[in-house]
Amino acid sequence: MDLRLDHLTVTIDGHHLVRELCLDVPPGSVVGLVGPNGSGKSTALRCVYRALKPTSGTIWVGDDDLASLSLRRSAQTVAALTQEGGTDFDFTVFEIVALGRSPHQQGNQPLTAAERDLCHEAMAQLGLTHLAERGILSLSGGERQRVLLARALVQEPRVLILDEPTNHLDVRHQVELLSHLKRTKVTVVIVLHDLNLAAATCDRIGVLSEGSLVAHGTPTEVLTTETMREVFGVEAHVVTHPLTADPQILYQLHADIPTQQAPLAAAEAKGTRP
Ligand SMILES: Nc1ncnc2c1ncn2[C@@H]1O[C@H](COP(=O)(O)OP(=O)(O)OP(=O)(O)O)[C@@H](O)[C@H]1O
């Protein structure tokens, strides 16, 4: 395993934010964490990028206990794109991306030619080349998000942690960012609220509810009508994508329409019958 959460528990003021979470993330795989608001997803991720110390449990990166690594070694191993990531200083896009190399550098040495190439390559892959000399504070939320992902990628981490990375992105950039992630060889743990994008992106998905892992498996195994009802509290139809065979969730906003109702009768019930 590249990453193993071994009975990870976070307790604050007597509240269990994460309880005995066990999760294996194989090398090169994309594992999603989904769950309702407040179910502990970000808290679990914060432990992996060491913004939070778990109350108990161990995080293994390869054969290393993460807690035993120096912060520098951790930063060489785990990169994160977080909800609170960002900067108040108006560095250029290139400068921000180049900061991703910091854990690998000694002192204030300038970037090597290979490192500069790496930065330019990451910017090109994320459609940022034309913004290289722009100040980060002048960018839109979506552009900024892509810059921060480029910074995380040039860190060349073994494990990449992403907490709702598609926030602020329009649909094209959501699809591009997630497609890009699938192509990288990096081991990824990602929190996504969009379950259809999670199904299309993740090799495996863990479902958190009130801090506990209540389901874990392939998207098809996990994203079921029962999960939607029991964990998220919504009625939904789960269908199979005609091209990729991924499960796709069709939400039902009108609880009074029986789930098995014929489309015409449903349209009639909604008053939209042609
Ligand atoms: N430092 C803290 N002290 C007390 N409670 C906290 C702290 N940090 C988080 N919590 C609580 O722990 C719970 C889990 O929070 P967390 O951010 O991990 O949830 P989440 O699943 O990522 O939610 P969301 O989908 O809304 O982002 C929430 O109820 C939150 O209010």
Rama region for 151: left / alpha / beta (φ>0; ψ in -120 to 50; rest): alpha
From the CB of 74, is ligand 1 less than 6 Å away? no
Each residue's pLDDT tens digit, 22-45:
999 999 999 999 999 999 999 999
**Residue 268 pLDDT exceeds 90:** no
Each residue's pLDDT tens digit, 41-67:
999 999 999 999 999 999 999 999 999
Mutate to test the pocket of ligand 1, among 8, 10, 34, 41 (most ligand atoms within 8 A of CB): 41
Amino acid at position 94, single letter: F
- pLDDT confidence tier of residue 107, bands split at 50, 70 and 90: confident
Strand 56-61 with 3-12, pairing: antiparallel
Mutate to test the pocket of ligand 1, among 8, 39, 167 (most ligand atoms within 8 A of CB): 39
Which two tokens mark 209? 């509810």
**Residue 231 pLDDT exceeds 90:** yes
Each residue's pLDDT tens digit, 3-15:
999 999 999 999 9
Each residue's pLDDT tens digit, 69-86:
999 999 999 999 987 766
- pLDDT confidence tier of residue 145, bands split at 50, 70 and 90: confident
Which CA distances in Å does 179 have to 126, 172, 198, 200, 225? 11, 11, 11, 9, 26
Q: Is the predicted ipTM greater than 0.90, yes or no?
A: yes
